[in-house]
Structure 1
Amino acid sequence: MTAATHSTPFPQVPETADAVLDGLDPEQREAATALNGPVCVLAGAGTGKTRAITHRIAYGVRAGILQPSSVLAVTFTNRAAGEMRGRLRQLGAGGVQARTFHSAALRQLQYFWPKAVGGQLPRLVERKVQLVAEAAARCRLRLDRNELRDVTGEIEWAKVTQTVPGDYPAAVAKSHRDAPRDPAEIAQVYRMYEQLKQDRGVIDFEDVLLLTVGVLQDRHDIADQVRRQYQHFVVDEYQDVSPLQQRLLDLWLGDRDSLCVVGDASQTIYSFTGATPEHLLNFRTRHPNATVVKLVRDYRSTPQVVHLANGLLAQATGRAAEHRLELISQRQAGPEPVYTEYGDEPAEAEGVARRIRDLIASGVSAGEIAVLYRINAQSEIYEQALADAGVPYLLRGAERFFERPEVREAVVALGGAARAGDNDSLLDDAVDLPSQVRAVLGTKGWTAKPPAGSGAVRDRWESLAALVRLGEDFERAKPGATLSDLVTELREREAAQHAPTVEGVTLASLHAAKGLEWDAVFLVGLTEGMMPITYAKTDEQIEEERRLLYVGVTRARVHLGLSWSLARSPGGRASRRPSRFLNGLRPGSGSRAARAATSGVAGAAGTERGPAARKRTRRGPVLCRVCGKTLTEAGEMKLMRCEDCPSDMDEALYERLRDWRSHQARDLGMPPYVVFTDKTLMAIAEAVPSNGHELAVISGVGARKLDRFGTDVLAICAGGEPGGDDEEGS
């Protein structure tokens, strides 16, 4: 019998424990029967991980090895926990607790609070935004709605990473996190927020975990009672645990090792919320005797889709890449992924809409088709194209473009300016329609230069920027159009997209698509600056963007389309380039280009361009300075050694160079990688150059950077202080 990931609507409960194992493939069966000691199941996308772990629990219960009430299975969403409970009931293992981390912790906290602290558990604040707003006001800081959302997110991140207010600025700097405001201001709001909660006797969502940890740490009698109750733990999506969740799990376990974790480091895409794959990657180090099972048989996607997914990860770097899983499709062959380059964004959206219409005509259900993009602001053009093509659609994880508060406010403001006409002083210096739109939206937060970092402020700007582009495109299509004409067009678009739909094509961001799958998936807007996103600066952030694209690819069962456009609007300058992640995978791009594109030497903006880049690719073979082997990977060539050859790097020197780079980047107002990448600093710390010639031969330095930064770098390498105050160099 072939293993499957979809069950029949009303399956028969297996008659025996052995019958629970029927239908599992060899690796799933190995995971299901490994009931002793620590177990780590590394499960690739589409390999039936939920099937494996639910059958593992059910087999243990039905065989009499596990008591249902002694098992606690934890995952990350209520939907996943509900699905797990349903499957366990179908397998005859009702009574097993399957909960989210927060749900399990809240249940324990409510039960033990009277004994541990006395009285009733403080009231749980459902939405902390209002309290954060009050905290900001008391700190005399004005935060708009979007900034409030961002600052609230920062407080949540600080709490799940166990960062107290006083340590927040240092933690932000250490993690290379883009704070939405001055970290010192956020720390001030965070401190006031905690004070307000204490004054009012309320707790928030993160406090549930923190307080449970506190009770279990301080009250050994309560910890022992919990451990007597739960003797076997299963953790799904283990790559997404935060440091706080791991601390709680450790306290639940005590000194036992009856733990099974399931995860895939290649699907870590939520590090901005505090999730980290390090616990999964370090599992075998912490538990040397662990049973490790790898699930690599992909039952979801065709060999063609799986081949692309494997190729995408083959170019990855970093620790997660070292543990990547090579998937093997179990499905029959299907169509090849289709790569399409368009001249401009409207052409791309229209082309995708046409292909979707053809798929629906061929028998593919609209509900089995998805269009996935990097940011929600990209949805508008696809909403419009699908509406124009008569294709029903629905948005997942985001409001419709014209329902977003900032878009509503902007359209109202444009309408007001249109009615005021010559009496609106905003428009005095705006001679054409695009400049009028920019003038009006400038009062709503639009700026010519996008804000740094991600988050709600960036989302708001992207929405307003989309309206600015609409104004430019409208004027180009209808020369002489007025602001009133544009507002009428916007109102018509809004009305057209309010048509009720029962089933439709899913429009979603890549993040919102995690855990879902469709017969046909279109990955759109795959250009440098969008994938990877422009504010992904560090090597780690770039690699997370690659994993995000991998998640998108692996959502497709049969049909997969990947597309990009060379210009924003018709007739615009064709200056865009396809995502570096597609190099070596799409037709016409070779592996040499792929290595150069993914080595990280060019930072977030893309691979190196121009004469310098061409000169670098013409050099002769580069040999490892340790073992003499010819180097082929760009990262290894930069270090002048194989990745697995021993490093003689001066760690203290490397840290001094990083500190100096941070200072330089701050003074220059640019990301640190523009000064020198991490790999270049590592190469400098290994070579410890003593003169300009030795520094110049290190890959990533070059004549321009040697002139600008060479004196400082050589001074640091010599153990001295950088020259520092030279205006031109800083």
Structure 2
Amino acid sequence: MAELPRLLEGLDPEQREAVAALRGPVCVLAGAGTGKTRTITHRIAYLVQRGLVAPQQVLAVTFTARAAGEMRTRLRGLGAGGVQAQTFHAAAFRQLRYFWPRMHDMPMWQLTDNKFRLVVTAVNKLGMSTEKEDVRDVASEIEWAKSSMISPEQYPSAADAAGREPPVAPTLLARAFAAYEQVKSRAQLLDFDDLLLHIAAILEDSQELAEEFRSQYRSFVVDEYQDVNPLQQRVLDAWVGNRDDLTVVGDANQTIYSFAGAAPKWLIGFPRRYPEATLVRLERDYRSTPQVVDLANQVIGAARERPAGTRLKLIGQRPDGPRPDFAEYDDETEEAEAIARKIAQLAKRGVPLSEIAILFRINAQSEVYEKALSEAEIPYQVRGGERFFARAEIRKAMSTLRTAIARDVAADDLPGAVRELLVEVGLTEEPPAGGSARERWESMISLVELAEELVGQVPDADLARYVAELDARAESQHPPTVEGVTLASLHAAKGLEWDAVFLAGLVEGTLPIQHADTDAAVEEERRLLYVGVTRAREHLHLSWALARAGGRRFRRRSRFLYSLVPDEHPAALPTKAKMREQQQIKPSKQQAKPKCRVCEAALAGTMDIKLGRCRDCPSDLDEDLLSALRAWRSERARQLKVPAYVVFTDATLTAIAEQRPTDVPALVEISGVGAAKIQKFGEDVLTLINGRQN
């Protein structure tokens, strides 16, 4: 009993309440930086030291091997080294090896170490693409279905109800799912989701084995409970049975994996499920300065709907630090270079590079920061993703570009030529809805933007000059593998923290991401920003750029920032570039922000800019002209042996049919109609329009 004061020593009142709660249901709502791991481990050790449970009778589960390892290390230091602290899958695997032979009277099937190969076999049988990226997308969708306890037969309707956008038709994906399960079963193999499915089924179907399991494990602890999916909750229910010695810890404000089936409903609903549960809120933030904490509270406090389980308000416990910094830049290159300069300044002031991170929404954004850090000779590491030029789609694109040089392909319009060449490796006119397909698209469209940037600097650049530029960038972006600045997506940053964090690229269409088209999806994007803000201990910088590299400045900062940037802050005032435009007597069309031709409002969305009007404003579409334009496009595409959208996209044709330009200057005003398009197709289009108006 002499150990008891030490286990409660140094805890704040709320942590002490959670640690000392009697056996039974306990729900700890733990905000970012509030010491949840300390609280969990001290609670387990306290129960052990009180003699309420033996270490071997405790099963603590979390979501990553790293977190489980940290928990085991802390428990050993607290005198509770016999506790089983594992991931869901590791715990299920251990249990299945013991129970499978007794349930099925045969050795346990082998856990596959090459799920990808099995999916390749399945999709190949159906004549589907076996390209690495396509197979990976199918595998991810199968994982979502299994973690959501959806069968192949149920998949089409369930995917539609969940708003999924699978990489192939839902019925075809369901067939691939069924084929995958057949291939796996015939080989007597299990995948990771099978571990959970089978252990749940065994404990549900055999009362004898369930009772044996529950005699071994009497107390359960679940970390990051907001991230459980339906299958994991089913396993937890099978473990616990009709008992209530369960402690759950989580933060619904950090739910950012709903695309993989995670849902906070079990965390939020825990007090209703267990009315007698002890409910503790941890809101004292020991990680971040009060200034960072205040901004985090503002971010999450602006959410449209906040269930009771999400209404945590962090209270900063550290001394004051610098105010979060906001910055607006003309384009992404300027933004990246400015961030590199600020990092260099922090390093001079003694902040270790390993304690600095640049976080962004999608992996495709990393290239511009990799380049800026390389040119500033600042070492870095990319976490949770490959470096830009190491990605499969970029390597394939580079190969295609080199082949085009060997074929002496003309490139009078370099960006247009690059775009058309990349169509061969999967670049589409409009971005896919999401997932890895969207990330591949973003990577390839970055190559087009690099071509636009090069032309701005070297107007007569050709394909050879462009590929040489890419090679130089790729070569310079392999600094020595030493500890340096971390580059990571917001998802990959979950659970980590740094002294200084740069949240970059915070513009509409990126955060929230363009395909976040429901209120629920937008709120998850807000939680992503909240996770990003709460990664910072002391220095926090938030920035955005009005344009891609050298492009037109029509971007808007993220809607999540509007209430955060102080009115007197320079980022809330017109930039130098804006003031230069305002001072010009006749600002050029190239520089002017696009406005709706109906209501004069500034346009921001890609589709709105293409149409030249707000999506909600009335359309004046000439349906007959649109039909004629489509027929003409089909014929021209056939003649040129290219996809129809390479001539003009549907959006551009719709804009032409609405605005009906009668001369070249008016036609050029339409987004998607550049010099190369005018030269190739301008006369045909104007003849069609003028012919119908005469």
Map of 2:149 onto structure 1: 162
Q: CA deviation at 1:478?
A: 0.8
Map of 1:576 onto structure 2: 555
Q: 1:478 aligns with which of 441, 458, 466?
A: 458
Opposite residue 278 of structure 2, the aligned amino acid is: T
Is 1:324 the counterpart of 2:311 in the alignment?
yes
Map of 2:121 onto structure 1: 134
Which segment is superposed worse, 170-179 or 230-239? 170-179
Q: Distance in 1 between matches of 2:401 and 2:265?
A: 49
Map of 1:509 onto structure 2: 489
Q: CA deviation at 1:526?
A: 0.3
Q: CA deviation at 1:322?
A: 6.1
RMSD: 2.3
Map of 1:556 onto structure 2: 536
Q: CA deviation at 1:66?
A: 1.6
Map of 1:587 onto structure 2: 566
Q: Distance in 1 between matches of 2:449 and 2:400?
A: 16
Is 1:522 the counterpart of 2:509 in the alignment?
no
Contact 1:344 1:566 in 2 (8 A): yes
Contact 1:266 1:321 in 2 (8 A): no
Q: Distance in 2 between matches of 1:276 and 1:114?
A: 33
Q: Distance in 2 between matches of 1:511 and 1:320?
A: 23
Map of 1:643 onto structure 2: none
- The verdict on how the C-alpha distance between 1:703 and 1:482 changes in structure 2, with shifts beyond 3 A counting, is closer
Report SS of the residue matched to 1:372. Answer: strand
Map of 2:421 onto structure 1: 440
Opposite residue 242 of structure 1, the aligned amino acid is: N
Q: Which deviations, in whole Å up to 9, do the C-alpha atoms of 1:423-473 show, x marking residues without a partner?
A: xxxx35x4222222122212111122212x212221111111111111111
Map 1:380-391 to 2 at 5 A: 380-391=367-378
Q: Distance in 2 between matches of 1:145 and 1:319?
A: 40
Q: CA deviation at 1:501?
A: 3.0
Q: Distance in 2 between matches of 1:285 and 1:491?
A: 59
Q: Distance in 2 between matches of 1:589 and 1:138?
A: 63
The runs of 5 or more residues in structure 2 that have no matched partner are 573-594, 602-606, 609-614, 620-694
Map of 2:244 onto structure 1: 257
Q: Which deviations, in whole Å up to 9, do the C-alpha atoms of 1:514-565 show, x marking residues without a partner?
A: 0000000000000000000001111111100000010000000000000001
Q: Which deviations, in whole Å up to 9, do the C-alpha atoms of 1:294-348 show, x marking residues without a partner?
A: 0000000000000000001111023557622100000000000000000111110
Q: Distance in 1 between matches of 2:338 and 2:165?
A: 36
Report SS of the residue matched to 2:459. Answer: coil
Q: CA deviation at 1:15?
A: 5.5
Contact 2:450 2:549 in 1 (8 A): no
Q: Distance in 1 between matches of 2:157 and 2:307?
A: 25
Contact 2:228 2:262 in 1 (8 A): yes
Q: 1:413 aligns with which of 376, 397, 400?
A: 400
Q: 1:113 aligns with which of 94, 100, 106?
A: 100
Q: Distance in 1 between matches of 2:80 and 2:134?
A: 46
Contact 2:29 2:309 in 1 (8 A): no
Contact 1:18 1:59 in 2 (8 A): no
Contact 2:129 2:135 in 1 (8 A): no
Report SS of the residue matched to 2:11. Answer: coil
Is 1:94 the counterpart of 2:81 in the alignment?
yes
Q: Distance in 1 between matches of 2:568 and 2:106?
A: 67
User: Could you tell me the TM-score, scaled by structure 1's length?
Assistant: 0.78
Report SS of the residue matched to 2:272. Answer: helix
Opposite residue 521 of structure 1, the aligned amino acid is: V
Q: Which deviations, in whole Å up to 9, do the C-alpha atoms of 1:482-538 show, x marking residues without a partner?
A: 211111111111111112131100000000000000000000000000000001111
Q: CA deviation at 1:610?
A: 9.9
Q: Distance in 2 between matches of 1:319 and 1:364?
A: 36
How many residues are aligned here?
A: 586
Q: CA deviation at 1:205?
A: 0.7
Q: CA deviation at 1:613?
A: 11
Q: Distance in 2 between matches of 1:535 and 1:439?
A: 24
Contact 1:583 1:589 in 2 (8 A): no
Q: 2:521 aligns with which of 521, 532, 541?
A: 541
Map 1:236-635 to 2 at 5 A: 236-320=223-307, 323-421=310-408, 427=409, 430-451=411-432, 453-570=433-550, 572-588=551-567
Opposite residue 493 of structure 2, the aligned amino acid is: A
Contact 1:309 1:554 in 2 (8 A): yes
Q: Distance in 2 between matches of 1:613 and 1:37?
A: 62
Is 1:210 the counterpart of 2:197 in the alignment?
yes
Map of 2:139 onto structure 1: 152
Contact 2:412 2:462 in 1 (8 A): no
Opposite residue 147 of structure 1, the aligned amino acid is: D
Contact 1:150 1:457 in 2 (8 A): yes
Contact 1:126 1:205 in 2 (8 A): no
- The verdict on how the C-alpha distance between 1:356 and 1:125 changes in structure 2, with shifts beyond 3 A counting, is same
Opposite residue 65 of structure 1, the aligned amino acid is: L
Q: Distance in 2 between matches of 1:455 and 1:291?
A: 39
- Overall identity of the aligned pairs, in %: 55
Opposite residue 457 of structure 1, the aligned amino acid is: A
- The verdict on how the C-alpha distance between 1:321 and 1:341 changes in structure 2, with shifts beyond 3 A counting, is farther
Q: Distance in 2 between matches of 1:156 and 1:109?
A: 20
- The verdict on how the C-alpha distance between 1:318 and 1:126 changes in structure 2, with shifts beyond 3 A counting, is farther
Contact 1:266 1:320 in 2 (8 A): no
Map of 1:67 onto structure 2: 54
The runs of 5 or more residues in structure 1 that have no matched partner are 1-13, 422-426, 594-607, 615-669, 672-700, 706-730
Q: Distance in 1 between matches of 2:375 and 2:242?
A: 62
Opposite residue 133 of structure 2, the aligned amino acid is: N
Q: Distance in 1 between matches of 2:567 and 2:555?
A: 17
Map of 1:196 onto structure 2: 183
Map of 2:67 onto structure 1: 80
Map of 1:26 onto structure 2: 13
Q: Distance in 2 between matches of 1:238 and 1:491?
A: 46
Q: CA deviation at 1:254?
A: 0.9
Q: Distance in 2 between matches of 1:39 and 1:321?
A: 16
- The verdict on how the C-alpha distance between 1:158 and 1:121 changes in structure 2, with shifts beyond 3 A counting, is same
Q: Which deviations, in whole Å up to 9, do the C-alpha atoms of 1:145-164 show, x marking residues without a partner?
A: 11111110000000010000
Report SS of the residue matched to 2:91. Answer: helix
- The verdict on how the C-alpha distance between 1:322 and 1:247 changes in structure 2, with shifts beyond 3 A counting, is closer
Q: Distance in 1 between matches of 2:398 and 2:616?
A: 49
- The verdict on how the C-alpha distance between 1:436 and 1:217 changes in structure 2, with shifts beyond 3 A counting, is same
User: Could you tell me the TM-score, scaled by structure 2's length?
Assistant: 0.82
Q: Distance in 2 between matches of 1:122 and 1:415?
A: 47
Q: Distance in 2 between matches of 1:609 and 1:212?
A: 58
Which segment is superposed worse, 197-206 or 336-345? 197-206
Q: CA deviation at 1:103?
A: 0.8
Q: CA deviation at 1:197?
A: 1.1
